[in-house]
Amino acid sequence: MRISVLQPDLVWENKSANLQNLEELLTPLQGRTDLVILPEMFNSGFSMHIDKLSEEADGETFMWMSKISLKGGFGLCGSYIVRENKKVFNRWVFVSPEMKRWSYDKRHAFSVSGEDKYINKGLKRLVFKFREFRISPYICYDLRFPVWSRNKNDTDLMIYSANWPASRKNVWNTLLKARAIENVCFVAGSNRIGTDGAGIHYSGDSMIVDPRGEILVSADAGIAQCITTEISLDELSDFRKKFPVHNDADEFTIHP
């Protein structure tokens, strides 16, 4: 499966500008990849102005994603702010060219910035199958919590959509590789670049990592670009057979 990670600059709280800019970056990928990964809050930047930015599950951004996915022939995913049943979520959404959809609500709201005061916590992990790969998505701060990200022998590709500040880029780079190694799976991380409305700077450092923790492809820091590579289920299966660490994993239960 060919997967692509988009590393864009984002216009602060401007949905129309962001969707237009992203569409321009996505157009060259039509018919050339299977899956495209966007960052966290790709339509607005990491803003807590939920009254202005939140939308219904089937709102403007979802309709845009559906259009782009169908036209491009690839799965498209990333997170944005969704309101549902009087609650607000930082929701990661996946749309396939066949018009199937899956969603995951961010488990770990970034309390350091006060996200937990505005965003309701997700309660369930998501694992779904696309192009024969079992995919498990996470959002930004989730990366710091390995128990939540733990592969229970049900995941081949972990996706992290993020707005991860440049000041903590070493943590981002280290933990993406750690999640791949400890879970014996492919890991893809999409992060933005530029400076947001709160003055926080982002360097991107988006990457795709193999089960050995080796970086298959990475984006240039501070550059808006797309990276693409091929990942193989056969390669993953062979490595797991040669190094079956999952057979010795501990059993555990996660409480809400």
Domain boundaries, the chain: 2-248
Determine the Cα–Cα distance for residues 181 and 210; give it in Å rounded to an integer: 8
For domain 2-248, give the CATH number.
Answer: 3.60.110.10
pLDDT at 99: 95
Q: Return the pLDDT at 247.
A: 87
Query: Residues 226-238: what's their mean pLDDT?
Result: 98
Active site residues: 40, 106, 140
Q: For residue 200, give both structure tokens.
A: 């926080």
pLDDT of residue 39: 98
pLDDT tens-digit series, residues 155-170: 999 999 999 999 999 9
Q: Look at residue 142 in the predicted model and tell me its pLDDT.
A: 98
Please, which pLDDT band fits residue 253 given cuts at 50, 70 and 90?
A: confident
pLDDT in tens, 5-28: 999 999 999 999 999 999 999 999
Q: Note if the pTM is more than 0.85.
A: yes
Residue 246 has pLDDT above 90, yes or no: no
pLDDT digits (tens, 9 = 90+) for 186-228: 999 999 999 999 999 999 999 999 999 999 999 999 999 999 9
pLDDT digit string, tens, across residues 94-140: 999 999 999 999 999 999 999 999 999 999 999 999 999 999 999 99
Q: What is the pLDDT of residue 114?
A: 94
Tokens in use for 38? 């966007």
DSSP notation for the chain: -EEEEEE-B--TT-HHHHHHHHHHHHGGGTTT-SEEE--TTTTT-S---HHHH-B-TTSHHHHHHHHHHHHHTSEEEEEEEEEETTEEEEEEEEE-TTS-EEEEE-SS--GGGTGGGTSPPP-----EEETTEEEEEEEGGGGG-TTTT---S--SEEEEEE---GGGHHHHHHHHHHHHHHHTSEEEEEE-EEE-TTS-EEE---EEE-TTS-EEEEPPTT--EEEEEE--HHHHHHHHHHS-GGGGPPP-----
pLDDT of 255 strictly over 80: no
Q: Which pLDDT tens digit goes with each residue over 48-92?
A: 999 999 999 999 999 999 999 999 999 999 999 999 999 999 999
